[in-house]
Amino acid sequence: MDSPSAQQNSRPSFDLETEMMDLHGMPVVGIDEAGRGPWAGPVVVAAVVLNPDRIPDGLNDSKLLSPQAREDRYEEILATARVSVVIGQVRRIDRDNILQATLWGMRTAFRSLEIANATALIDGNAVPKRFPGQVRAVIGGDGKSLSIAAASIVAKVTRDRIMVKLAKRYRGYGWENNKGYGTPEHASGIERHGLCAHHRRSFAPIQRILAESAETTSSEDLAPPSGALRTCADFADFGG
């Protein structure tokens, strides 16, 4: 794996797309996700077909761009490319696991473009089963392929906007800042306010919180239970 400094010094190109178009004679779809690691919120998958004649400047791995640069590139991508976005909700993540929810999102985002014949470049090392087209997984693809980089930006901006909106309804977790990731601010919010419907109960840190709270409730025989067994709905300021 490239070091962070090497990744920052390199820039994605259109070389992989050109190679696949020459090989298959079809448009190339870049696919990436945002939000596999957070404790809360959905996973978002984006699929993007860039117009080779109108590729926005400054495309790169979304993690290497400032929030404002991501927003600017996002608007340019939507104005010049064909885009689809799929949101994998927490209930799907908890039912199927985060990997399967992500792979489902990749298949669905590709289909949603409604392109009769296309190939795909996917960020990562896993290719979804039953993928409806020719596909290639590219480790570190958001730093190598402009199409994957564009998809990473669309997925990241979409998910960040969702988390900022959720933060206005479910206050106390700092989601407007941490976007649902397991930061001290988020952990402190859970300790103070408990879990809500958007927390991923299949994730180990959340399971530990539930287990610890259940043990406390059992040993102290509290009624109603306190701590993490409360939900966001218990707090009037979460309303709406």
Instruction: Look at residue 129 and tell me whether its pLDDT is greater than 70.
Output: yes
Sign of the Cα pseudo-torsion (144, 149, 155, 158, in order)? positive
- Of residues 106 and 237, more confidence is placed in 106
Say which range, 8-12, 29-33, 48-52, 216-220, has the weakest mean pLDDT: 216-220
Model confidence over 180-213: pLDDT tens digits? 999 999 999 999 999 999 999 999 999 998 888 7
Angle, CA 204 vertex, CA 104 and CA 216 arms, to 5°: 140
> What pLDDT is recorded for position 216?
60
Model confidence over 37-91: pLDDT tens digits? 999 999 999 999 999 999 999 999 999 999 999 999 999 999 999 999 999 999 9
What is the band of 232 on the pLDDT scale with cuts at 50, 70, 90?
very low
Instruction: Look at residue 226 and tell me whether its pLDDT is greater than 80.
Output: no
What is the band of 215 on the pLDDT scale with cuts at 50, 70, 90?
low
What is the band of 169 on the pLDDT scale with cuts at 50, 70, 90?
very high
Q: Rounded distance, CA 104 to CA 45, Å? A: 9
Q: What percent of the chain has pLDDT over 70?
A: 85
Q: Which CATH number fits domain 4-167: 3.40.50.10490, 3.40.190.10, 3.30.420.10, 3.40.50.2020?
A: 3.30.420.10
Mean pLDDT of the chain: 88
The residue-averaged pLDDT of 161-165 equals 98
Q: Where in the chain are the domains?
A: 4-167, 172-238
> What pLDDT is recorded for position 233?
36
Q: Widest CA span of the chain, in angstroms?
A: 68
What is the band of 2 on the pLDDT scale with cuts at 50, 70, 90?
very low
Model confidence over 87-104: pLDDT tens digits? 999 999 999 999 999 999
> What pLDDT is recorded for position 108?
97
Angle, CA 225 vertex, CA 221 and CA 226 arms, to 5°: 120
What is the band of 9 on the pLDDT scale with cuts at 50, 70, 90?
low
